Structure 1
Amino acid sequence: MIRNVVCAEILAILVICAGVMSFGCPGPDGNGHASPVPGGGGILVAAHDSPAESKMVADYLCDGAGDQAEIQGALNALGSAGGTVTLADGTFHLSGNLNIPGNVVLEGQGPDATRLEWCSGFMQCRGVQDIVLRDFTTTGTGAIFIYNCDHVKVHNVTATVDNSRWGGAFTLWVSSGVMEDIEFANCRAVDCGRMGFMNDGEGSPRLIRDIRYIDCEAVNSGRYSRFSPYGEWTTGFAIAENNDLADTVLVGCVAEGSFESGFHIEDAPEITNLVFENCISRYNGQKSDGFYNPSENTHGLHFGSGYWVHGGTTLYNCVSEGNGNAGFSVGPGTSLYNCTDDGSAVGFRLVDTRDAYLEDCTSRNAGAYAVYALEAENVATKNLQMIDPGGVNGNGAFFGTVAHPVVASRFDVVGRSGGDIHAIYGEGCRDIVFTGVIRADHPEPVVIKRGAGVDTGGLEIRAGPENPGRSPVSVLKSLLLRIFTVFS
């Protein structure tokens, strides 16, 4: 969560000089939505350590210090017709910005072959169209910043960038406009000191739409280091910070080991037609309980979920595992189909939410609650499985308090819990219906107190198995007191 980012820093991005430094760092010794890029010229740039055959035919030869000068020269030489700049095998050492013009392909030989190492500066696309960036690795300060651009493809790029500035390894920024038709495919943000992927913006409108993330990964975002200030909120995929978002899809993406949430949407943006398909979010919420959050004068996790989502958002066949707070934090207007959590502190968090729908979803081995619901209205579930939660105060699923009730909702569930766990516990519920099957050996498997209009007539109670089969994979019992406090 980036809050109150200093305007001066944003302005600095917008006025970066197109000229580049020649020296500054020590050398190595010390869909198809996007429009095709016009077929102009093709230019080869070789690194100081490129193979001899590449150096012999290169149009530009770098010396291993301030290599952005030669690369920028090649990009500029394409002219308005555009074309392709190819970076040969090898390591390029950069000490200033690369400004990518429109109608250009900038390509390497693959993330394992072409490497850009930056000691200052980053790669910027500003106010241009029809760009392809592909097949290289970028490190150090070298994040990719895409500002008010359309028709962009970023394919097969790996980023391991530091904590020297806010934002993401891959950032989309819209300012008083609409950005559209941008695709990330097979991109990886690994061990970054900032967000993995981030969308943000300012002004009015500030809409980012028709964005596609395909087989992308954010691993250990902010886990080992973070930018300052506000780095305590670092997530893997910050899908919407201050921008509105529409017609966006994430397919086969992975968020793992993030400091806070894996996939995250801030509360303010308007979200329309955001779809997750076959995504995985695991072991996020790596922030310790004692970590101090200076921007809010608090400690520990605030989000820490596999998926923190709301708005016009739908998840299909998504998986969560071992996340520090919830597997799925289900905000207003969200629908989930065949989504599974295993071993997160809470399987499904339904707090301050309404008009949410869950079908064929499963929580297994939750460290605390399979379901945690407060201030929830018009929530419906169909075949929601709550299997072997660890429980808090003897309760495996929690549905409301008198002060924060669950109302006007319907829960069709399949539950299984041990003899010391209430499968369902709630207070103050109003006008809700429970149906389904509960397998439990507890003498009171379902407890609803001080409610009104609660119908459990369609809930069948059966004896639980001799051994409920609680898995040892849940290692989050030590977090339960913190979970109870955070979710309250």
Structure 2
Amino acid sequence: MKGKIGIQMIIGALLLLCLIQTVAATTTIVVAAADASPASKAAAQIVCPGTNDQAWINEAFNRLPAEGGIVQLTEGTFHSSGWIYPSQNSQFLGSGEDKTTIDVYNATDAYQPIHVQQDNVLIKGFTLRGEGFFLIRTNHVTLQDITATSIGADGVRKPSGGNGMFFIWVDNNYTGDITFQNCKAIDCNTHGFNMNANRDTGINSTGTRTGTNSYAISNLKFVNCQAIRCGYGVADGSSSEFATGFDIQEDNDLQNVEMDNCLAEDNWENGFHFEPGYLGTKNVVLNNCVSRNNGQRNPAVEPFNDVFVSGYYIHRNAILNNCVAINNKNAGFFTHDGSNTTFNNCVDIGSTYGFKIVKGSSDITLNNCQGRNEKAWAFWTAFSDKVTVKNFFQANAGGKSGYQDNIGFYYGSPKYEFSTTNSNFDITAFGSSLPIINEAGNGNTYSLKTASADQVPTVTDITAATVPAVYVTGYSATTQGATQVSQVVAVATTVAPAATQTTTTTSDGWSGFGKSFGSTSSGFGSFGSSSSFQSGGNALGVAVSSSQSIAASIGSTWGGFTGRTFGF
């Protein structure tokens, strides 16, 4: 009986604790913009002056109880010149992407993030403009219904201090359980989405990267996200010539990633980018994604051996289902040093090359895929092994060097120009009189057919989003005045006006490190045997030690090369 009573008391205590936590979670601090309506200001606990508004937003987070709560922004434009710090267990909410704007500009320092360094944070419902970006360095984070752009509220494109508008930086033992839903990066001077890590970049005697700190991003999800017109070379404030739509993997290991219904359009380099080679990659799945017109603004021309400019640059332990590539400058689907990657019902339309499987790839499968109206080869593979092409249909391939498809050629490079072996090619072609493929290599089987009628696929289509216009409230700080007011919050805790603006900006020891290293992506040492570069791609090099010969087994020692160092 005593045991039963004890259990009941424990259950009762837990229920009471949950109730307390639920009540605390409803604590809300409303922060009004300087141009918010009089009614919104009257309902707010804090009214911003219209300059250095980040100080007052941070004050709102400081006023939340330890259990967390909500910082609610009203309609209008918040003008920030510094870092914003969401607190643990908090929600940072705007009034909608079309109603709330955070406009960021600092004349002396463009590195001004919303810095998510505490876990259990939800951010939702506003447009971030100018120099602002999201820097995430923790776990259990969700971003929803956010638009980020480098174009300020004044219509002027601002320089980018961050390495991505949505930037995850791993410098701890666990970063993950992060979801982006309905997040859009549009007209950005840097990557739309960028994942990266601080890890040891030592080089062993064979030139392969090594390190004890292989930091991973785990359980990462993108739903209905878009990256549009990210990167402008080095013009208009871009930090480098390497900028992609979704840069999901740079120096970070990657585990359990799902991307659903995402769009990459008109980005400077790749639409979707994953580094090949040395990185630990597990369980990457892309469903119903679209990558179109990427690389078209980039002035690079064939042979594209110093740029990517492709739709999907993806390699290891990945599955792509019903994904579409349209009119990308280089390849629609590009696998380099790949392994255990499958393309199901994927379609390329109008890229220079449809599917490009090269440079040490093995165990790559195409099921029921199509290449349509490619400017050159619909399918291209070289220096690879165990490539399986099942029920591949190609229509109106432009062809090159006398064939619709190619095995073995790789820009005339003696390092990589070798046939693909132990592979199966089941290809049906329509609309071209050229031979389908040069039957090169050892251990391959071929089933090659010519169709009398086209087979037009049903493909995924995603409409590109636009940046919401800056909401005009009809009010201004000048006409209303800007004061900080005090009212009672939801749990009857009186919030008194702060004597000082107690932000944590000056005490954040990481800020200097982030500017020096985080913003340059993978600028951490040398790659290969003598090449050094940053993810920005300003320094490209090729250096192969004598021990890294072509005789090396495919997919083994090639991991030290990485995509940017060793051709494309």
Give the TM-score category using the shorter length.
Answer: 0.7 to 0.9
Residue identity over aligned pairs, in percent, reads 32
* Structure 2 residue aligned with 1:83: 69
Amino acid at match of 2:247: A
Q: Distance in 2 between matches of 1:54 and 1:86?
A: 11
Match of 1:252 in 2: 261
Is 1:102 equivalent to 2:88 in the alignment? yes
User: Against the structure 1 CA distance between its residues 165 and 350, is the aligned structure 2 distance closer, same or farther, given a 3 Å change threshold?
Assistant: same
CA distance in 2, matches of 1:37, 1:300: 59
SS in 1 for 2:40: helix
From 106, 110, 115, the counterpart of 1:125: 115
C-alpha root-mean-square deviation of aligned residues, in Å? 2.5
Match of 1:350 among 347, 357, 360: 357
Q: Which moved more, 1:36-45 or 1:179-188?
A: 36-45
On the 8 A contact 2:274/2:315 being kept in 1, the answer is yes
* 1:165/1:369 CA distance change after superposition, 3 Å: same
1:202 maps to 2:198: yes
Q: What whole-Å deviation, never above 9, does each CA across 1:42-89 have from its counterpart, x for those lacking one? A: 010110111111011110001111111111100111031210000000
* Residue in 2 that maps onto 1:447: none
SS in 2 for 1:54: helix
Per the TM alignment, residue 163 of structure 1 is displaced from its structure 2 partner at its CA by 3.4
Q: How far apart in 1 are the matches of 2:235 and 2:267?
A: 11
- Name which of 287, 309, 312 aligns with 1:277: 287
Alignment counterpart, residue 367 of structure 1, candidates 375, 386, 408: 375
In the alignment, structure 1 residue 437 sits paired with structure 2 residue 445: no
Higher relative contact order (CA 8 A, sep 6+): 2
Equivalence map 1:138-287=2 (5 Å): 138-147=128-137, 149-161=138-150, 162-203=158-199, 204-223=213-232, 231-267=240-276, 268-287=278-297
Does the 8 Å CA contact 1:163/1:192 hold for their aligned counterparts? no
Give SS of 1:356's match: strand
Give the structure with the higher percent strand.
1
Find out whether 1:69 has 2:55 as its counterpart. Answer: yes
Matched, 1:302 2:307: yes
- Looking at structure 1, the residues matched to 388 and 139 of structure 2 have their Cα atoms a distance apart, in angstroms, of 38
SS at match of 2:124: strand
Q: Distance in 1 between matches of 2:247 and 2:174?
A: 18
The answer to which of 185-194 and 202-211 deviates more is 202-211
Corresponding position of 2:463: none
State the secondary structure of the residue aligned to 2:241: helix
SS of the residue corresponding to residue 424 of structure 1 reads coil
Helix, strand or coil: the match of 1:138? Answer: strand
* 1:339 to 2:339 alignment: no
Distance 1:386 1:434, change over 3 A: same
- Confirm or deny that 1:424 pairs with 2:437: yes
Read off the aligned partner of 1:320 and give its amino acid letter.
A
1:46 aligns with 2:32: yes
* Secondary structure, aligned partner of 1:233: coil
Change (3 A) 1:376 1:224: closer
Unaligned runs of 5+ residues in structure 1 are: 1-34, 292-297, 440-463, 470-485
Using the TM superposition, give the Cα deviation of residue 124 of structure 1 relative to its aligned residue in structure 2, in angstroms. Answer: 3.5
Measure the CA separation in 2 of the matches of 1:226 and 1:36.
49
In 2, Cα distance between equivalents of 1:175 and 1:383? 44
From the CA coordinates, give the structure whose radius of gyration is larger: 2
Q: Distance in 1 between matches of 2:234 and 2:118?
A: 32
The CA distance in 1 between the partners of 2:384 and 2:62, in whole Å, is: 56
How has the CA–CA distance of structure 1 residues 312 and 77 changed in structure 2, closer, same or farther, with 3 Å as cutoff? same
Contact 1:36 1:130 in 2 (8 A): no
- Using the TM superposition, give the Cα deviation of residue 224 of structure 1 relative to its aligned residue in structure 2, in angstroms: 7.0
Once residues 78 and 242 of structure 1 are traced to their aligned partners in structure 2, the CA distance between those partners, rounded to angstroms, is: 35
Instruction: Give the TM-score taking structure 1 as reference length.
Output: 0.78
CA distance in 1: counterparts of 2:353 and 2:259, whole angstroms: 23
Q: Which residue of structure 1 aligns with residue 316 of structure 2?
A: 311
Amino acid at match of 1:383: N
Counterpart CA distance in 2 for 1:396 and 1:232 is: 32
Q: Deviations over 1:140-184 (max 9, x none)?
A: 11100001x111100000000243324100011111422121100
Secondary structure in 1 aligned to 2:196? strand
C-alpha displacement at 1:393, in angstroms? 2.7
- Is the partner of 1:129 in helix, strand or coil? coil
- Asked whether the 8 Å contact 1:37–1:131 carries over to 2, the reply is no
- Quote the residue 1:21 is aligned against: none
Query: Which 4+ residue blocks in structure 1 deviate beyond 4 angstroms?
Result: 35-38, 224-230, 298-301
Secondary structure class of the residue paired with 2:325: strand
Question: C-alpha separation between the residues in 1 aligned to 2:311 and 2:173?
Answer: 31
Contact 2:189–2:239 (8 Å) recurs in 1: no
Q: Does 1:378 align with 2:378?
A: no
Most deviating of 387-396 and 400-409: 400-409
Opposite residue 242 of structure 1, the aligned amino acid is: D
Structure 1 letter corresponding to 2:420 = V
TM-score, scaled to structure 2: 0.67
User: Is the 2:31–2:74 Cα contact (8 Å) retained in structure 1?
Assistant: yes
